[in-house]
Amino acid sequence: MIGRLNHVAIAVKDIAKATAIYRDTLGAKVTPATPQPEHGVTVVFVELPNTKIEFLEPLGENSPIAKFVEKNPDGGIHHVCYEVDDIIAARDQLKAQGARVLGDGNPKIGAHGKPVLFLHPKDFLGTLTELEQV
Ligand code: CO
């Protein structure tokens, strides 16, 4: 079902500082910071030859990652994202196997403008798992 690793997301308190570490210390290619008020985050992508790293910084009062960043003030891995061909088929198959889909169970448009879903971390090795249809 799952295909390529699309990205690993790291939640951070200061996205400018995070970007500088990857750009200047690690020499990676980074995108400009993009506020996504509808998701409550500001996002930067680090573009690696084989995958991406997504930095997430809380944005606004009710950011879904605010608590995570509070608990992980140095930053921390927030989720992994795998590509699927058909997100509805993947969702239905996972639900039939007892996996929990977060939210109302319907795909939302994610940071790349493509449909995404999140799976409950308790069903996937303690790791919040995103599926993205590519
Ligand atoms: Co993501």
CA of 25 to the centre of ligand 1 (A): 23
Quickly tell me which residue has 């690690």 as its tokens: 26
Question: Cβ(5)–Cβ(77) under 8 Å?
Answer: no
The domain 5-133 belongs to what CATH superfamily? 2,3-Dihydroxybiphenyl 1,2-Dioxygenase, domain 1 (3.10.180.10)
Nearest Cα to 53, choosing from 74, 37, 84, 29? Answer: 29
Q: Is residue 8 predicted with pLDDT exceeding 90?
A: yes
User: Near ion ligand 1, which residues have CB within 5 Å?
Assistant: 9, 81, 130
What digits encode the pLDDT tens for the residues 74-84? 999 999 999 99
pTM of the model: 0.94
What mean pLDDT value characterizes the chain? 96
User: What does the alpha-carbon distance between residue 86 and residue 27 come to, in Å, rounded to a whole number?
Assistant: 35
Domain residue extents for the chain: 5-133
